[in-house]
Amino acid sequence: MNKTPFSKIIAGTMTWGVWGKNCNNNEMIALLNCCMENNITSFDHADIYGDYTTETAFGNAFKESKIDRDEIQLISKCGIQLQSDNRKNLIKHYDYSKSYIISSVEQSLKNLKTDFLDLLLLHRPSPLMEVDEIAAAVEKLKNDGKILDFGASNFTTQQTDLIETKTKINYNQISFSITDHAAMLDGSLEHMQLHKIKPMCWSPLGRVFKKDDEQTRRIKKLAKSLSLKYNVPIDVILIAWILKHPSGILPVCGSSSKSRIAELMKATTINLDLQDWFALWTASLGEPVP
């Protein structure tokens, strides 16, 4: 199977199910079609989303939508074990044994109504993960055609280096936004560029629309003026700020609003002026950049 590039904006499905909008089947089909109409063809999942139910809801909608599997890319994550009515877990923990990684992927394939994942990510690092177990699982899943590519999520540079002693990591999905830009300053994004690891970022709008404080008010004030300059909504300006970084970050946008989804890809057409980019960073910091 040939690898199809991920869309420059990735649709995050976490809020499509019971952890968010709780879309019914028809609403989820409508969201799928809206994404496709706006050239968002990549969909980010995790086995735990919706208390282990969202992948199934998406899979049912995808099957009924009649969208060609070759036209989309499916990402999922595994490793987190939640306390849930759907699991016999006594406590939240992580499991990166070979058998669990394989069984989790096989369950995701069943839920998503597909034969393969375009990308498997380890959801969060575990102090007890053994790289030989992980590498053996990844090798088998690739050889069996059940995953096309492999990466991590929320892993540090040292943790990715450890995994890469046994198997290549091609993606790392991290938290990154105008309000959470530590990865830009602690060497993480440079490390990814050096090791040819493609960054994805979750929560790309950060705290801007979740908190009302001095920082978010500064950012929104400037972003509002820039939205007039570039003739796009404020959230598109904030996504464009991320896209300008030379590491080629792929934002995972979790909106379940069709109107917002329709606007998101506009960010890929905007190249913020250098000083506008730094002005946004300055607004976030509340002082001149270092």
pLDDT of residue 107: 97
Say what the pLDDT of residue 3 is: 72
- List, by residue number, the catalytic residues: 49
CA 85 to chain centre: 26
- For the chain, give the percent of residues with pLDDT over 70: 99
At 8 the pLDDT is 97
pLDDT at 86: 83
pLDDT attached to residue 4: 77
Strands (E), 23-155: 42-44, 73-78, 80-81, 93-94, 119-122, 150-153
The per-residue pLDDT for 87 is 87
175 phi and psi angles, rounded to 5 deg: -80, 125
Q: Where are the beta strands (DSSP E) in the chain?
A: 10-12, 42-44, 73-78, 80-81, 93-94, 119-122, 150-153, 171-175, 198-202, 250-253
State how far the Cα of 149 lies from the Cα of 139, in Å rounded to an integer.
10
Q: Please state which of the ranges 77-86, 119-128, 132-141, 172-181 shows the lowest mean pLDDT.
A: 77-86
pLDDT tens for each residue of 203-242: 999 999 999 999 999 999 999 999 999 999 999 999 999 9
Q: How much is the pTM?
A: 0.97
Answer with the residue of higher pLDDT: 11 or 256: 11
How high is the pLDDT of residue 182?
97
Q: Tens digits of per-residue pLDDT, 164-210?
A: 999 999 999 999 999 999 999 999 999 999 999 999 999 999 999 99
pLDDT digits (tens, 9 = 90+) for 133-164: 999 999 999 999 999 999 999 999 999 999 99
- What band does 1 get if pLDDT is binned at 50, 70 and 90? low
Q: Is the model's pLDDT at 261 over the cut of 80?
A: yes
Chain mean pLDDT for the chain:
96
pLDDT of residue 88: 87
Summarize the confidence of residues 121-141 as an average pLDDT. Answer: 98
- For 101, 113, 222, 241, the CA distances from 11, given in Å and listed in that order, are 23, 18, 26, 18
